[in-house]
Amino acid sequence: MAKKSFSSGSGPSQRQLRVGELIRRALSELLQRGEVHDPDLNRLSVTVGEVRVTPDLRVATVYALPLGGSDKGDVVALLAKNKGELRHLINKKLALKHSPDLRFRLDETFDRMDETRRLLSQEDVRRDIEAVADEDGEGAE
């Protein structure tokens, strides 16, 4: 009997997550060791926060950020400029069946977290949150 695959559309599969994490680790090591033949990229300390892989594993979107947050625009451009070499080095290191096309995006996770903290610390937002918590507490009794 053929194995059926059901996708609820609720998120990435275990395979996507595993391959994404393997690529993230490999890319982080390559950048940390300065294995790319680009002195401009090697002078930056780059943090690779996440790699999201498409269901067919053909495209990997890399979310990266320069350490310290400076040169944000440069890091994405430099990674994209060296995409071919990075792709080759990752495939050599991981021996994947298909070497995914790499796409680079700025990792804005920390900026979003800071903005969320800022919003939650506003007096009117805290008051609203407390009001909702009080309403939920009364209904539970």
- Domain assignment of residue 6, yes or no: no
Is the whole model's pTM more than 0.85, yes or no? no
* Ramachandran class of 68: left when φ > 0, alpha when ψ lies in -120 to 50, beta otherwise: left
Whether residue 123 sits in one domain with residue 84:
no
Average pLDDT over residues 63-86: 88
Whether residue 120 sits in one domain with residue 140:
yes
- Domain assignment of residue 9, yes or no: no
Provide the pLDDT for residue 134: 78
Whether residue 25 sits in one domain with residue 69:
yes
| CATH number for the domain that contains residue 47 | 3.30.300.20
Residues contacting 42, CB < 8 A, separation 6+: 34, 36
Average pLDDT over residues 84-91: 95
- Domain assignment of residue 134, yes or no: yes
Q: Which residues pair with 62 in a beta bridge?
A: 51, 104
Residue 27 neighbours by CB distance under 10 Å: 23
- Domain assignment of residue 70, yes or no: yes
- What is the span of the domain harbouring residue 119? 108-141
- Domain assignment of residue 7, yes or no: no
Evaluate if residue 101 carries a pLDDT over 90. yes
Provide, rounded to the nearest whole percent, the portion of the chain with pLDDT above 90. Answer: 52
Average pLDDT over residues 69-97: 89
How would residue 86 be classed by pLDDT, with cut points 50, 70 and 90? very high
Whether residue 117 sits in one domain with residue 85:
no
